[in-house]
Amino acid sequence: MKIKLIGTIIVGIFFLSHQALAFWIWTPELGKWINPKHYVRDTPEEQFNLGYELYQDGKYKEAIKEFEKLVKYFPKSKYAPEAQFYIGQAYEKSGDYYRAFKAYQKIIDTYPYTARVDEVISLEYKIGNLYFVRSNRERKLIERISFSDDNTKAIEIFQKVVENAPYGEYAPLAQFKLGLVYKRIKDYTNAEEAFKKLITNYPTSELVDDAILQLAKVVSEKERKVDYSQEATEEAIKRLKELSTLGELPVEGKRVLKELQERKAQSLFETAKFYEKQKLYKSAIIYYEDVVRKYPKTSWAVKAAEKLGILNKKVKK
């Protein structure tokens, strides 16, 4: 019994030692055993070269680990922002786009003065656009997982692009698409705010005309589903009229403008009707006149004109 137990212990020790040795390798150039999982090279340059070699060989997972070691142990080295950049590149090559974005954003947050900043912002915008497009059909499994909850991630990424460089090349583009994503998920309040910001903050952008039209559409859609907003409607009408003075409005713009004017005229007409029922004829006349004067091409203008003819006779009596 004792012999059997001793034999079992010896086998166990051999097995454990064999397993332990599997984590260690002999390096002739260093003349010692090392654990590759935890071993960090003596200089940041050596560590970077190791990660870059793995990256070039397409071993992205291993490359990320080596680059992360560099960032952790040599955070102030000139190689640290480069290592962080290639962490993002490796995640992107692997199809894990959200982690790639997070890695790129860490460069902006930690190394804002690196020469890679402009390139990083362009890469972030590109990733945001991938989430915005939502074409998941041809993607690999890991890409499909990465693109889950795409609207939320698109919003996060576009917001960061604008925050990172509010007057950069990609800021107005990101701001416009931010509005489109909010509109897509029917978050009309934030969509309205996003388009207004583009119009206000980037008045010379080529996207301003499109933003005005989208703002009008948002207001129109919002009012079909939530409480009527006088102020938002008036602003949308004003913006569309301003746009029309610069050239011919597109068909969609004309349709939205007409719809908003009809709705505004209806609101004024109903207010006038309320005063009329209260026999406050002078107040009713003011609102009916507003309908005729401000929105003469609406169906409500005809009705308001008829009411004015009746009320003016009553007032004169």
44-101 tens-digit pLDDT? 999 999 999 999 999 999 999 999 999 999 999 999 999 999 999 999 999 999 999 9
Percent of the chain whose predicted confidence (pLDDT) is above 70: 75
- pTM over cut 0.75: no
What is residue 202's DSSP assignment? -
Task: With respect to residue 293, please indicate whether it lies within any of the assigned structural domains.
Answer: yes
Task: With respect to residue 307, please indicate whether it lies within any of the assigned structural domains.
Answer: yes
β-partners of residue 27 are: 32
**Which residue matches tokens 């006779």?**
313
Tell whether 203 and 175 lie within a shared domain. Answer: yes
227 or 66, greater pLDDT: 66
In this prediction, residue 19 carries a pLDDT of 46
Its domain, for residue 311, covers 267-317
Task: With respect to residue 286, please indicate whether it lies within any of the assigned structural domains.
Answer: yes
pLDDT tier at 145, thresholds 50, 70, 90 = low
In this prediction, residue 149 carries a pLDDT of 60
159-181 tens-digit pLDDT: 999 999 999 999 999 999 999 99
pLDDT tier at 317, thresholds 50, 70, 90 = low
Percent of the chain whose predicted confidence (pLDDT) is above 90: 42
Our count of domains for the chain comes to 2
Task: With respect to residue 128, please indicate whether it lies within any of the assigned structural domains.
Answer: no
Distance of CA 47 to the CA centre of its chain: 35
What is residue 111's DSSP assignment? -
Please tell me the least confidently modeled range out of 65-74, 134-143, 198-207, 221-230: 134-143
Average pLDDT score, the chain: 81
HSE-CB of 255 using CA atoms within 13 angstroms? 6
Q: Using CA atoms, how far apart are residues 308 and 286, in angstroms rounded to an integer?
A: 9
Task: With respect to residue 238, please indicate whether it lies within any of the assigned structural domains.
Answer: yes
- For the domain that residue 236 is a member of, what is the CATH number? 1.25.40.10
Query: What's the rounded mean pLDDT across residues 256-285?
Result: 82
Query: What's the rounded mean pLDDT across residues 132-149?
Result: 57
